[in-house]
C-alpha cells in the first residue's frame, strides 16, 4: 500500500460520488480492515474465497472504482508480495512436483503458497479499494478518530507531506550530478554523497518546519480536531461487514 | 505605543558567525517597512528574533508594548505573524484546511469559529475555499503555496506581519497579486526583500542592513533612489527607477 503513497491521494476516484464515497472515512477504514481480518481468519477453501471475492466485487461496482486501475495496482503489489512468499513455495515437504537442484516445489507447499497468495490478493483488493477512494489525509484522520496514537498519526502525516518534497530534491540533485558527468549512470561515491546530502537536507528541513510550527503558536502538543459523529448508514455498513465475516465463518462451520 | 521596538540586538550563531551586531529600529502602528540588504546581511536572523524563535544574545525587544520574555511567548506569537521564505517549510499539514487551521487551533479556536476563520483567510488571499480546502499541500503551485502560507499566518490575526522574501520565485502575475494583497492588509508590516521594486510599491520606510548592522533607514522613495548608497552595499537601483 505504501508503494502508492505519493500518488494515492491524487487518485481521481477519491473525489467521485457513490454510496461508498458517502460513508465516513472512518467507516470505510473499518469496513476494509474488518474484511482484511475476515480474510485472514477464514480457512483456506476455494468457495469461501469466492464469497469474499464476490463481496469485494460488489463493493468495487458500488464504489465505481476503475477495474483497470485496480488491476494495475494489484500487479505492482503482487510482484512484491509474491517475492516475499517465495520462501513458502520452496519450503514444503511431501510429493515433489518440480525440482530445481536443492529447491523443490511440492504439492503441499504449492497449495500453501496459493492459499497465502489468494488471501494476500483479497486483502490487497480491500485495501486498494480504501486507498483509491479515500484521500490519504482522510485515512490518517480516520486512524486518529479510531484512537490510533495521535503522535504516530502526525509522524505519518509529515512523512506523507514531505515524501514528495524529498523525492523532488533527490531528483534535482541526481540531475545536477548527471549534468556535470559524461555518462548517464552515477558512481557509488556520487550516489552516496547525494544520499548523505539528502539526509542533511531532511534534518535541516525538519528544523525549519519546527521553527515555522513554533511561529504559529505550537507548544509541543497537537490540538485535537472535533470528531464528527458516525451516521446510521456508517454504522450499518460496519455492522453489515462484521455480520458478513461472522456469517461466512458460521456457514463454513456448519458445513 | 510602538508595536515593535528593537534595541541594540546582537546575535552570534554557534559556529561563531556574528549575524547581528547591534541592530536598533522601531515600527509605528500601520507602517509598512522594507528590510533590504545583500545576502548574509542578517535579515532572516533578525526576523526570527521578532517572533521569539531565536533568543537574542544581547539587546532588548519589545513587542506590542511588552518585553520579549518566555512568559510572554503566547502573546508574542499571536501578535507577530511570521511568513517564511520557503512555503515548503511552513506548510506541513496534509491539507490546506488543516494547515491554515493549525495556528488558530493553537490559540484555542475550534468548531465553526475555526472553520469560518480558515475560510475567511483563504478568501482574503484570493483562494476559493470550495476549491482549496481539501487540496493536499504538496500538490499546489509555488504561488498557491505562498498564499496558503500567508493565509495560515493571517488566521492568527496578528497585529504585525513579518514577511521573508515574499516575492521570491513568483511569476509576474503572482507577484502583482502579492503586491496588491500587501497594499490592502491593514497590519503593520516588515518585509525583508531583495525585490526593491516591491519595496518601492508597498513600503513607506526602508531599513538597509549589512553585516548585521543598520547602515541607514528612511523614506523608501529617497533611500532607493540613492544609487551610490545602494551600490556600495551590494544592491542596485530598482528596475522601475533605472530609466
Q: What is the DSSP string of B52-115?
A: TSS--SEEEEEETTEE--GGGHHHHHHHEEEE-S-HHHH--SSBHHHHHHHHHHHTT--HHHHH
Mutation choice for A interface testing from B89, B103, B163 by most A CBs within 10 A: B89
Closest to B193 measured CA to CA, from B35, B81, B41: B35
Does residue B209 belong to any structural domain of this protein?
yes
What is the spatial distance between Cα A70 and Cα B31, in angstroms, rounded to a whole number? 57
What is the spatial distance between Cα B176 and Cα A195, in angstroms, rounded to a whole number? 38
What is the spatial distance between Cα A208 and Cα A212, in angstroms, rounded to a whole number? 6
- The answer for B 139-158 residues in CB contact with A (under 8 A) is 139, 152-153, 156
Does residue B240 belong to any structural domain of this protein?
no
Least confident of A167-171, A230-234, B202-206: A167-171
CA B65 to the chain's CA centroid: 19
**B15 min Cα distance to partner chain A (Å):** 16
Cβ-Cβ pairs closer than 8 A, A with B, add up to: 85
Q: Tell the residue number behind the cell numbers 466485487, with chain if given.
A: A57
**Chain A residues lying within 8 Å of B72, measured CB to CB:** none
- pLDDT higher than threshold 90 for residue A4: no
Facing B74 at nearest CB: one of A162, A164, A217:
A217
Closest to B162 measured CA to CA, from B127, B98, B207: B207
Closest to A169 measured CA to CA, from A203, A134, A146: A203
Question: Is B95 in contact with B136 (CB distance < 8 Å)?
Answer: yes
Facing A164 at nearest CB: one of B77, B101, B138:
B138
Q: Is B48 on the interface with A (CB under 8 A)?
A: yes
What is the spatial distance between Cα B199 and Cα B191, in angstroms, rounded to a whole number? 8
Q: Tell the residue number behind the cell numbers 521564505, with chain if given.
A: B85
- Where in chain A are the domains? 2-145+229-254, 150-215
Mutation choice for B interface testing from A211, A215, A222 by most B CBs within 10 A: A215
**B38 min Cα distance to partner chain A (Å):** 22
Helices (H), chain B: 43-50, 73-79, 87-90, 96-106, 111-124, 129-132, 142-154, 172-184, 196-202, 220-223, 227-232
* Pairing outcome for strands B32-36 and B160-164: unpaired
Does residue B238 belong to any structural domain of this protein?
no
pLDDT digits over A108-128, tens only? 888 888 888 999 999 999 999
Q: Is B107 on the interface with A (CB under 8 A)?
A: yes
**A150 min Cα distance to partner chain B (Å):** 14
Does residue B242 belong to any structural domain of this protein?
no
CATH code for position B207: 3.40.50.300
Q: Tell the residue number behind the cell numbers 513455495, with chain if given.
A: A89
Q: Is B55 on the interface with A (CB under 8 A)?
A: no
Q: State how many domains chain B has.
A: 1
Task: State the cell numbers at B194.
Answer: 531583495
pLDDT digits over A187-197, tens only? 788 888 888 88
Does residue B218 belong to any structural domain of this protein?
yes
Mutation choice for B interface testing from A217, A221, A226, A228 by most B CBs within 10 A: A217
pLDDT of residue A175: 80
Q: What is the DSSP string of A116-142?
A: HHHHHHHHHHHHHHHHHHS-HHHHHHH
Q: pTM score, two decimals? A: 0.75
**A80 min Cα distance to partner chain B (Å):** 27
- List Cβ<8 Å contacts ≥24 apart for B109-117: B110/A223, B110/A226, B111/A226, B117/B155
pLDDT digits over B96-147, tens only? 998 999 999 988 888 899 999 999 999 999 999 999 998 888 889 999 999 9
- The answer for B 71-90 residues in CB contact with A (under 8 A) is 74, 77-78, 81-82, 84, 86, 88-90
pLDDT digits over B133-184, tens only? 988 888 899 999 999 999 999 999 999 999 999 999 899 998 999 999 999 9
pLDDT of residue A8: 46
State whether the Cα torsion A58-A62-A67-A72 is positive or negative: negative
Q: Give residue B218's domain range.
A: 4-230
Q: Do the Cβ atoms of B93 and A161 come within 8 Å?
A: yes
Closest to B156 measured CA to CA, from A97, A196, A215, A143: A215
Q: Do the Cβ atoms of B138 and A165 come within 8 Å?
A: yes
The interface pTM score, or ipTM, of the predicted complex is: 0.82
Amino acid at each position: 500500500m505504501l508503494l502508492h503513497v505519493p500518488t494515492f491521494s491524487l487518485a481521481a476516484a477519491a473525489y467521485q460520488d457513490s454510496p461508498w464515497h458517502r460513508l465516513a472515512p472512518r467507516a470505510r477504514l473499518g469496513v476494509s480492515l474488518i474484511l482484511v481480518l475476515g480474510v485472514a481468519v477464514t480457512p483456506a477453501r476455494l468457495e469461501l474465497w469466492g464469497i469474499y471475492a464476490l463481496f469485494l466485487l460488489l463493493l468495487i461496482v458500488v464504489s465505481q472504482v476503475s477495474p483497470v486501475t485496480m488491476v494495475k495496482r494489484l500487479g505492482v503489489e503482487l510482484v512484491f508480495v509474491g517475492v516475499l512468499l517465495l520462501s513458502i513455495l520452496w519450503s514444503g515437504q511431501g510429493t515433489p512436483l518440480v525440482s530445481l537442484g536443492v529447491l523443490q516445489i511440492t504439492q503441499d507447499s504449492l497449495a500453501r503458497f496459493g492459499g497465502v497468495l489468494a488471501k494476500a490478493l483479497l486483502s490487497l483488493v480491500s485495501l486498494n479499494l480504501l486507498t483509491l477512494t479515500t484521500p490519504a489525509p482522510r485515512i490518517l484522520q480516520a486512524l486518529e478518530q479510531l484512537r490510533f496514537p495521535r503522535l504516530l498519526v502526525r509522524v505519518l502525516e509529515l512523512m506523507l507531506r514531505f515524501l514528495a518534497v524529498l523525492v523532488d530534491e533527490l531528483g534535482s540533485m541526481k540531475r545536477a550530478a548527471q549534468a556535470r558527468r559524461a555518462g548517464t549512470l552515477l558512481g557509488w561515491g556520487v550516489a552516496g554523497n547525494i544520499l548523505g546530502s539528502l539526509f542533511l537536507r531532511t534534518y535541516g528541513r525538519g528544523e525549519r518546519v519546527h521553527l515555522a510550527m513554533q511561529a504559529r503558536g505550537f507548544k509541543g502538543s497537537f490540538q485535537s480536531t472535533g470528531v464528527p459523529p458516525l451516521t446510521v448508514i456508517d454504522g450499518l455498513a460496519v455492522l453489515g461487514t462484521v455480520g458478513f465475516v461472522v456469517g461466512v465463518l458460521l456457514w463454513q462451520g456448519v458445513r | 505605543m510602538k508595536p515593535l521596538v528593537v534595541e541594540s540586538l546582537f546575535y552570534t550563531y554557534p559556529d561563531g558567525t556574528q549575524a547581528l551586531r547591534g541592530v536598533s529600529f522601531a515600527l509605528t502602528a500601520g507602517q509598512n517597512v522594507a528590510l533590504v540588504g545583500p545576502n548574509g546581511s542578517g535579515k532572516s536572523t533578525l526576523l526570527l528574533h521578532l517572533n521569539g524563535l531565536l533568543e537574542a544574545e544581547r539587546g532588548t525587544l519589545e513587542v506590542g508594548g511588552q518585553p520579549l520574555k518566555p512568559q510572554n511567548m503566547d502573546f508574542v506569537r499571536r501578535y507577530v505573524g511570521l511568513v517564511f521564505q520557503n512555503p515548503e517549510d511552513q506548510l506541513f499539514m496534509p491539507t490546506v484546511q488543516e494547515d491554515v487551521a493549525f495556528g488558530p487551533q493553537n490559540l484555542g479556536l475550534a468548531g465553526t469559529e475555526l472553520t469560518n476563520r480558515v475560510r475567511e483567510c483563504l478568501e482574503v488571499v484570493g483562494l476559493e475555499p470550495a476549491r482549496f480546502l481539501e487540496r493536499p499541500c504538496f500538490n499546489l503551485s509555488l504561488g498557491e503555496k505562498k498564499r496558503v502560507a500567508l493565509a495560515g499566518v493571517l488566521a492568527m490575526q496578528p497585529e504585525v506581519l513579518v514577511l521573508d522574501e515574499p516575492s521570491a520565485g513568483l511569476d509576474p502575475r503572482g507577484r502583482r497579486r502579492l503586491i496588491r494583497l500587501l497594499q490592502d492588509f491593514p497590519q503593520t508590516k516588515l518585509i525583508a526583500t531583495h525585490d526593491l521594486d516591491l519595496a518601492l510599491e508597498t513600503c513607506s520606510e526602508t531599513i538597509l542592513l549589512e553585516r548585521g548592522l543598520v547602515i541607514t533607514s528612511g523614506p523608501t522613495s529617497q533611500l532607493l533612489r540613492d544609487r551610490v548608497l545602494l551600490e556600495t552595499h551590494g544592491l542596485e537601483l530598482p528596475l522601475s527607477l533605472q530609466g
